Amino acid sequence: MRKPIFFAFTLLLLTASAVLRADEGMWLPSLIEQGRIKDMRSKGFRLKAQDLYAVNQASLKDAIVRFGSGCTGELISDQGLLITNHHCGYGQIQQHSSVEHDYLTDGFAAMNRSEELANPGLVVSFLVEMKDVTDRILSGITPGMTEQERAGIIEKNKRAVVKAATEGNLYKASVEALYYGNQYFLFVYEVFEDVRLVFAPPSAVGKFGGDTDNWMWPRHTGDFSIFRVYAGKDNKPAKYSPDNVPYVPKKSFTISLKGMKEGDFTFVYGFPGRTYQYLHSEAVRYIQQKSDPHKVNLRTIRLNIMNDAMAQDPAVRIQYAAKNASVSNAWKKWQGEMKGLERLGTIGKKQAFERQFEAWAADKPEYSGVTAQLAALYDSLEPYAFARDYHTEAVMAIELIKFAGTYADAKDLKPETLARLQEAAAKFFKDYVPAIDRATAKALLAEYVKNIPAEFRLAVINPAAGIDSVFDLSILTDSVQVKNLLAGGDTAIIRQTIDRDPAVQAYRQFSEIARTKIEPTYKALNRQIDEKYRTYMRGMIEMRKGEHEFYPDANSTLRIAYGKVDGYRPMDAVYYEPNTTLEGVMQKDNPDIYDYDVPAKLRQLYEAKDYGRWAVNGTVPVAFIATNHTTGGNSGSPVLNAEGQLIGVNFDRCWEGTMSDLEYDPVVCRNIALDIRYALFLIDKVGGAGYLLDEMKFAK
């Protein structure tokens, strides 16, 4: 019975013409052919849709990977060479670093294949195929069903579709909802597990500008690192082995050295994480006025404590480098997002749209009233969402509590489990400073007590006062005690020690609160909210049929965003040009400021103007911005020219435009990309690994 409706829905999407605001959107590659290709071509794109995505022949999609779980990477040779961001490989670079071999500070260059470093746990995934499976996923759904029954059937259908797609092959697959469950797509991936580190510039280049320049333009960061994908002798995925050989991809990118100038067509092809373009005004209000400000405050507290400790001790600086970067990253973004939403008046615009929608829906019972229902649901949700924010941003931000969770949640103590716990402990203690964590815990829990009503908190103990004794008495702050315990082998003793440990007990109490008092209602309300969005989204599409093509929110699936190289005006009287050069690096150079301490080698090359073949107008290009609509997850994505050649590697967004996850504004939303020529210059002239260029292909 539902079928005709979904059939109609798909048709709507396909026939809708394009009157989107300029350059907004993250499009599904397999649908470019029926949808965006005309607009892309009219803006300067020179290839065909099948060059971007095809199943029966190699296409550009075969040169792109999801790198780890949160980034993108692309193949730049037919011997498995891959480029992504420095900040995407940061965890791996740090794992290989110590005070003696400080690859974070000095950079790393494998001088031959045998020097490339293995990274257990790191995987890259190539998309083999994507396709619309809406009919199969919704088969068996009837109009009278409850949401829960519906969800059950969808789960079952998803499992069947995934099973069929992975039967008799080594692929991994998943089915993802688009347009709030109005459409479903199957994504099939080939996942490689042997991915080795080949090159990283010094952090003073790869993270130049640090968290001071993060999210900002003009930017001078050489944010890239190079890995190599290895496969078994049959070119198929294989577990790490010294016998593995470089993977030969179906496709790798040709690199363009021509550069880019204002107005040039460009596109980004990668794995954007999450966007929320179609949110109700009440959800935006919660984010802008409540959630973001509180989360920013909690992270300011953490950063202040961490920064002090890191400034005092170089060993601590290395230990907390990756943690600090990840805490500060969202912290800064949320501040830009709040400002951007306020400047755009997003809440007011959404309210106006909701009124317009209801006027249109007045004679359509299927849709009428849905925006008021959403408002009411958000009203009920808010205290739960807020308590949940504190659970993740305050409670679980305490490293000890989170670590205790690995022990608390261990289902058994079989030898494999003990080995896993050992491993978790080794990783944890390598970068753990109890004094930092204790000070952080006290400060965070004081906020938690102040802001979260008693009904969502620990009932008996005052956690802010009790946390000192948790740190005093837990053995989980001490690597030797943990090691001895696990090595002891007597599982009864291990179990008892774990169960009695105050950090484990604290973890269990906090989790219990979340599980019993927060999660059930939070989830139940969200199920209702999802159902309303499904209706609302379908209604929006119907309402604007023929005048507006809606793209699905990002959900970590492969997308194409396109636009042009373009500067912007961040404020009155200021125009930002779209390209930066080495001149800007040297203008920021300051040996006394950690974030701006240009490495001696680069300084020398600059003094001598020794740029070799990388000189452009007497300097070296560094980065550029464009109007491509991107988000977190697009880090490392290829930035391509009209011919589909690699001109850059995406690594950031401009701060004034970070609200683009909720509302894209063509006036200030810009993605930031590394100019590929800067990466090549650094590999060649600073890293002394010019031999890597021999395997790359350059456009003539």
Residues that bind ligand GLU (CB under 6 A): 71, 630-635, 651-653
Of the two residues 273 and 383, which places its CB atom closer to ligand ARG in the complex? 273
Q: At what angle are helices 415-430 and 479-488 packed, to 10 degrees? A: 170
- The footprint of ligand ARG on this chain (CB under 6 A) covers a number of residues equal to 12
Cβ(191)–Cβ(237) under 8 Å? yes
Catalytic residue among 252, 281, 635, 660: 635
List the one residue out of 242, 237, 235 whose CA is nearest residue 79: 235
Q: Pick the binder of ligand ARG from 61, 87, 299, 629 (CB under 6 A).
A: 87
Distance CA 115, CA 100 (A): 17
Q: Which does 589 bind (CB under 5 to 8 A by kind): ligand GLU, ligand ARG, none?
A: none
In whole angstroms, how close is the CB of 216 to ligand ARG at the nearest point?
Answer: 9
Surface-to-core class of residue 233, CB atoms within 10 Å of its CB (0-12 exposed, 13-18 middle, 19+ buried): exposed
| 561, HSE (Cβ side, Cα atoms, 13 Å) | 31
Q: Where are the alpha helices (DSSP H) in 69-123?
A: 90-95, 103-106
Q: What is the DSSP letter of 27?
A: B
Of the two residues 71 and 475, which places its CB atom closer to ligand GLU in the complex? 71
Using CB under 6 A, which of the segments 123-131, 192-200, 323-331, 567-575 binds ligand ARG?
323-331
In whole angstroms, how close is the CB of 283 to ligand GLU at the nearest point?
Answer: 19
CA dihedral 13, 16, 20, 22 (to 10 degrees): 100
Bridge partners of 197?
A: 117, 227
Catalytic residue among 59, 86, 87, 291: 87
Secondary structure of residue 638 in the 3-state scheme: strand
Q: Which does 634 bind (CB under 5 to 8 A by kind): ligand GLU, ligand ARG, none?
A: ligand GLU
Q: Considering the rule CB under 6 A, would residue 50 count as an interface residue with ligand ARG? A: no
Q: Which does 116 bind (CB under 5 to 8 A by kind): ligand ARG, ligand GLU, none?
A: none
In whole angstroms, how close is the CB of 118 to ligand ARG at the nearest point?
Answer: 24
Using CB under 6 A, which of the segments 208-216, 371-379, 451-459, 479-487 binds ligand ARG?
208-216
Element (H, E) at 212: helix 210-213
Q: Considering the rule CB under 6 A, would residue 635 count as an interface residue with ligand ARG? A: yes
In whole angstroms, how close is the CB of 508 to ligand ARG at the nearest point?
Answer: 33
Q: Considering the rule CB under 6 A, would residue 329 count as an interface residue with ligand ARG? A: yes
CA 199 centroid distance within chain = 22
Of the two residues 175 and 325, which places its CB atom closer to ligand GLU in the complex? 325
Classify the phi-psi angles of 186: left when phi > 0, otherwise alpha if psi is within -120 to 50, otherwise beta.
Answer: beta
Cβ(225)–Cβ(86) under 8 Å? yes
> How many CB atoms within 10 Å of residue 411?
6
Q: Considering the rule CB under 6 A, would residue 215 count as an interface residue with ligand ARG? A: yes
Catalytic residue among 51, 223, 589, 675: 223
Concerning whether 223 is annotated as a catalytic residue, the answer is yes
Q: Give me Rg for the CA atoms of the chain.
A: 26
Q: Considering the rule CB under 6 A, would residue 210 count as an interface residue with ligand ARG? A: yes
Q: Which does 207 bind (CB under 5 to 8 A by kind): ligand ARG, ligand GLU, none?
A: ligand ARG
Q: Which does 630 bind (CB under 5 to 8 A by kind): ligand ARG, ligand GLU, none?
A: ligand GLU
Q: Which does 214 bind (CB under 5 to 8 A by kind): ligand GLU, ligand ARG, none?
A: ligand ARG
> In the 3-class helix/strand/coil scheme, how is 383-446 assigned residue by residue?
HHHHHHHHHHHHHCCCHHHHHHHHHHCCCCCCHHHHHHHHHHHHHHHHCCCHHHHHHHHHHHHH
Q: Considering the rule CB under 6 A, would residue 307 count as an interface residue with ligand ARG? A: no
In whole angstroms, how close is the CB of 332 to ligand GLU at the nearest point?
Answer: 11
Of the two residues 324 and 634, which places its CB atom closer to ligand GLU in the complex? 634
Using CB under 6 A, which of the segments 34-42, 207-215, 273-281, 481-489 binds ligand ARG?
207-215
Of the two residues 71 and 327, which places its CB atom closer to ligand GLU in the complex? 71
CA dihedral 681, 687, 688, 693 (to 10 degrees): -50
Q: Considering the rule CB under 6 A, would residue 538 count as an interface residue with ligand ARG? A: no
Q: Pick the binder of ligand ARG from 194, 652, 675, 684 (CB under 6 A).
A: 652
The residues carrying an active-site annotation are 87, 223, 635
